[in-house]
Amino acid sequence: MKNEHCFDIAIIGAGPSGCSAALTLRSSQCSIALFEKSEFPRNKICGDGICDRSVNTLKAINPAYFDEFIATQQPLCIRNTELTYKNHTYIVDFKNFGYTCKRRDFDNFLFSLVQRDGKNISIFQNCGIRDVEQTSAGMNLIAENGETYFAKIVLVCTGATSKIARKLTGSQYDSSKMGVAVRAYYSGVKNLTNDTLELHYKKEFFPGYLWIFPLNDGTANVGFGCRVGAETKQNDIRAVFESWLANDEQLRQRFAGATMISPLQGGLVPYNVDEFTCCGDNFCVCGDAANLIDPISGGGIGSAMVSGYFAAQVAEQCIAKNDCSPLATKEYEKMLRQRVEREMHTRYVIQKTIQNHPWTMDVLAFVGKQARLLQKIKSWYFQ
């Protein structure tokens, strides 16, 4: 009789990376466990932007899932981004950027697909994993409730503050590789454009920015994020956000009749700094736990989903070959590097250059006024 606490693959965390991994494995012959410390639906602090990589990964897992996402969640389709710096706005258009959808709804949508289609997946809600221990055969998982589980390979999808990821990879907390952000939902914001994201920049906070993202119910996700160690610190980032809205002439007018309809909440944002330490003996680390957030935009859902998708494929191969060694799991890192390394490297170089030489923002602003040149830069950046 099969031990109900023993699995081929364990996925710790049921966010976008964990659910993407689970959905990728929904038809496999492996026994899967998905652990989530809370219960769905649950809130997640986020800008609520669902980029093209998120969409493409969902389609790769199952094209019907994308159609179902559109039909059930009715997200706003985003075609443009407005970049505002020194009271000048630059319009960047996209053919297929993505959507806005509240993370509570998007995460719950992905989780509901796992519940419905993952017949080989045992789901454990309200079951946080507090520690893991390597054995000769795999990995023991110790839950917060005292229960112990076993898996031959573990996919760690536990978010930005993951102690398990740091333990397995040997990486340390490093504030120079972290950002911090706050956000709240507002109603009554004037002059929202349903197909346009707004990013507002100030030189002293780059690569941080203030954002205004429209949502399909007429409200807006409004927030501010910057790197840890910038002029603002984590404990006063709320004051910076509130001061920006109150003192910027255009924003003050637009928010004059607006109402904050949720608490202002914040969290850490682990940038990718051109490093990929994300696998080893019987494990792969995905999403924010692997520091896969874009160093310029601060977006991480797309990279989280594609990392879960890749890690699931590699985990299934490892089980089939009965080989979960570091050499075998290294294939996950290779796939991840091939998909995102070049763009992460480029964006990290841009981040560091402007961070070390703030005057370059003024140069870029001047260049941005030249429409044809801006179009060429946009094409280079996104390709």
Q: Taking the chain, what is the end-to-end CA distance rounded to the nearest angstrom? A: 52
Query: How many angstroms separate the CA atoms of 319 and 8, rounded?
Result: 7
Residue type at position 300: G
Q: Which pLDDT tens digits describe the chain residue by residue (383 residues)?
A: 346 699 999 999 999 999 999 999 999 999 999 999 999 999 988 999 998 889 999 999 999 999 999 999 999 999 888 888 888 888 877 666 789 999 999 999 999 999 999 999 999 999 999 999 999 999 999 999 999 999 999 999 998 888 999 999 887 766 667 788 999 999 999 999 999 999 998 877 877 889 999 999 999 999 998 877 655 554 588 999 999 999 999 999 999 999 999 999 998 887 766 666 789 999 999 998 888 887 767 788 998 999 999 999 999 999 999 999 999 999 999 998 887 766 666 666 666 666 665 545 555 554 444 455 455 544 544 45
The maximal CA–CA distance of the chain, rounded, in angstroms, is: 70
Domains of the chain: 6-76+101-173+274-354 (3.50.50.60), 176-269+359-382 (3.30.9.10)
- CB of 335 closer than 8 Å to CB of 341: no
**pLDDT at residue 337, rounded to an integer:** 85
Which residues, 6 or more positions from 335, have their beta carbon under 8 angstroms from its beta carbon? 310, 313, 314
Query: How many angstroms separate the CA atoms of 77 and 75, rounded?
Result: 6
Which residues, 6 or more positions from 239, have their beta carbon under 8 angstroms from its beta carbon? none
Residue type at position 118: G
**pLDDT at residue 367, rounded to an integer:** 47
Handedness of CA 254, 48, 378, 294 (dihedral sign): positive
Other CB atoms within a 10 A radius of the CB of residue 28 amount to 18
DSSP 24-86: HTTTSSS-EEEE-SS-SS----S--EEEHHHHHHHHHH-HHHHHHHHHHH-PEEEEEEEEEET
